[in-house]
Amino acid sequence: MKFNCALLTALLSVMMAAPASAGKHWVATWATAEQVVEPHNCPPAPGLENNSIRQIVQTSISGKVVRVKFSNEFSKGPVTINAAEIAKASTAGSSSDIVAGTEVSLTFGGRSSVTIQPGELVTSDPVKFKMGTRENVAITMHMGQASSTSVTGHPGSRTDSYIAAGQTSDFTGAVSTAHWYIINAIEIKAEKKARAVVVLGNSITDGRGSTTNEQNRWTDNLSRRLLANRKTSRVSVLNMGLGGNCVLNGGLGPTAKSRYARDCFQQEGVRYIILFEGVNDLGGFGDAEKKADQIIDVYKQIIAEAHELGIKVYGAPVMMFKGNSYYSENHEAGRQKLNGWIRNSGCFDGVIDFDAVMGDENDPARLNSKYLFENDYLHPNADGYIRMGECIDLTLFE
């Protein structure tokens, strides 16, 4: 039997040149949901244009090769990043300091600068950057053209960012603001078993009631538990909560109906989705029972599309809000209708029932008083977010 020597040589060359990372894939270790930033949450003076901004995030799973995504999805004009760096941050947001010697420059197609057109998302080139679990990471951008009135960002960062005048790495005396701008995701090159869970939610997921710069949202508490559990230690948590968000119409930011494909399916490595929306729809004007039916239709669509992609979907019943201005007999009836479907329809791959553990023992329709944030009977406080993170069955993610 004769062999084609040239072909055999070529095959051997390919096999020998195969990178050590073969079989690995990209997984998001941190990401955020974005919207057009409201006027009162836009960057303060000196603004973004021709200045530098350092933003702190806390990742979930570790990695050694990373890339960063930047978004101009909702802005009206182009954004230019003259240069950008990633580094380990000294704190979870309470200062702009970075760990000396950890700074790595980011490039875009081999260039240090990039211009992002309206509606576009760009991804940096992969770089070597050793990042541990729950690592505090600083992303510094030296901006060129950039509006401070039409900005893509995440208003509810619960983490301080720092703006300094000029093209500088010296953030001494920088202006702080508790919002993220333009940064979208950090991804790692990970082994096959690494995977992500993305949470589509509103202000309760976004972390209203948690502590600024302490990274203690319920999703953070879930992440820490997943990392500590051997079978789930390579599962990242991506918080896609937006304060004031609705599933159907109105609210703040793009509706869940319009954003789920981008915020869930376009994240790298997603294996699970948690749907935890609806309270702002049910508590608003209109018949809440009819809205419950409409939310169910949207959820069915998300579940069907997720299953086609091999993604499991877990439903989280809407938590109690008696005592809040959202509450009425009709609003409660809508909540019960939606929650009954989430628990009993069999459409979900599992249920994460915060509503069952957060209520008052004597009045389950009312949030337990020990978990109240500002007595609004809607948002949990930091202790409540601990309880939410603790009540989740980790076997759902094994």
pLDDT tens by residue, 122-159: 999 999 999 999 999 999 999 999 999 999 999 999 99
Q: Evaluate whether 141 touches 49 at the Cβ level (below 8 Å).
A: no
Confidence of residue 10 (pLDDT cuts 50, 70, 90): very low
Q: Higher-confidence residue: 15 or 248?
A: 248
pTM: 0.93
**Which residues have CB under 8 Å from 18's CB, separation 6+?**
none
Owner of token pair 């000396």: 100
Residue 17 pLDDT: 37
Rounded mean pLDDT of 107-117? 98
pLDDT tens by residue, 157-216: 999 999 999 999 999 999 999 999 999 999 999 999 999 999 999 999 999 999 999 999
Residue 23 pLDDT: 79
**Which residues have CB under 8 Å from 188's CB, separation 6+?**
26, 27, 29, 61, 62, 63, 64, 65, 66, 131, 194
CA terminus-to-terminus distance, the chain: 49
CA distance 267 to 212: 25
Polymer length in residues for the chain: 398
